[in-house]
Structure 1
């Protein structure tokens, strides 16, 4: 199976479940004309996967997109330390949503699936000193919402209502259940 993502977290989650992966990505503009946030994230995930699937029409291609949402606003990856401060101040002491959408395509088999998992994540109150400490770890720079739940960013998390792996970057449980719906069994996963 081809993973249309350079995310080490997605690769780890899928390989830990038993998928054998080849990484292939294409640079696409991560924009969507969709208005609703979930549809927008699903559209971007599908565009990432379709760009790779077009060059590999007989292969199964999987990919995803993860965003952090608060006050109906998407928080993407930070571009600067200032972005990290602003995002973490916004998330401090509040509950936000993490939406991970996945797309699974095999053009020759006429498979084109997209779906999403939404999780609520509650943060403790975060001080400026804690934000500075976190920036110094370099961890928040490539993470949606400026934090990674699987690393030192876990320090900020008080509660998760949803799927931990989805917050980490890929809803493996929902994806595997989706495969079962199209008659791909747990035993067949190794062969994809």
Structure 2
């Protein structure tokens, strides 16, 4: 597939997420993946933000600007996701025991995924957007969680909420309200709309 990207300099994704890179590639946008070398938790703490959407947006911007500083002239996409169950925020689990506790806390309840994207170039933010998906997890027993973690493997430890909807994580849910791209961590439709408005796409 030829790229629909119009600029000579390639699009840059400030992430090592395979799901995000796949979404862009499937949309005809080949990109270079350059993970941002930042301390997300320290940045979050220093900002003093508590609202999930503000945290996601702040971290997406920090990633986009950090990579923009080392990739002059490139359009850089930064993305971040926060998971909130009421007022409680969840981070990626540190080990199986924490993953189990997170899943049991989410089981039988509805949580919100806030997915933020920011486009930056040469240290300037050109576009930002936050989308929300509501995720209703089915009731799960400890045995259910054990089977899921055994079968899903360590890959889910890299995901906030301990699931990847494109894989075995789909078994955890009974209802989802939101955009599929938002759930995968890259609200693609508003991003493509911005690229088109900026004259960056051939389609």
Question: How does the TM-score come out when normalised to structure 1?
Answer: 0.90
In 1, Cα distance between the equivalents of 2:190 and 2:133? 13
What pairs with 1:1-16 in structure 2 (closer than 5 Å)? Answer: 1-16=11-26
On the 8 A contact 1:149/1:157 being kept in 2, the answer is no
Corresponding residue number in structure 1 for 2:172: 156
Aligned length: 186
Decide which moves more: 136-145 or 123-132. Answer: 136-145
On the 8 A contact 2:52/2:82 being kept in 1, the answer is no
Question: How does the TM-score come out when normalised to structure 2?
Answer: 0.86
Offset, 1:185: 5.8
* Helix, strand or coil at the partner of 2:38: coil
What pairs with 1:7-156 in structure 2 (closer than 5 Å)? Answer: 7-30=17-40, 31-32=43-44, 33=47, 34-107=49-122, 110-136=124-150, 137-138=152-153, 139-156=155-172
Corresponding residue number in structure 1 for 2:181: 165
* Helix, strand or coil at the partner of 1:63: strand
RMSD of equivalent CA atoms: 1.6
* Helix, strand or coil at the partner of 2:37: coil
Shift >6 Å, 4+ stretches: none
* Helix, strand or coil at the partner of 1:145: coil
Offset, 1:41: 1.1
In 1, Cα distance between the equivalents of 2:99 and 2:140? 12
In 2, Cα distance between the equivalents of 1:66 and 1:111? 18
CA distance change for structure 1 residues 60 and 144 in 2, over 3 Å: closer, same or farther? same
For structure 2, the 5+ residue unaligned runs are: 1-10
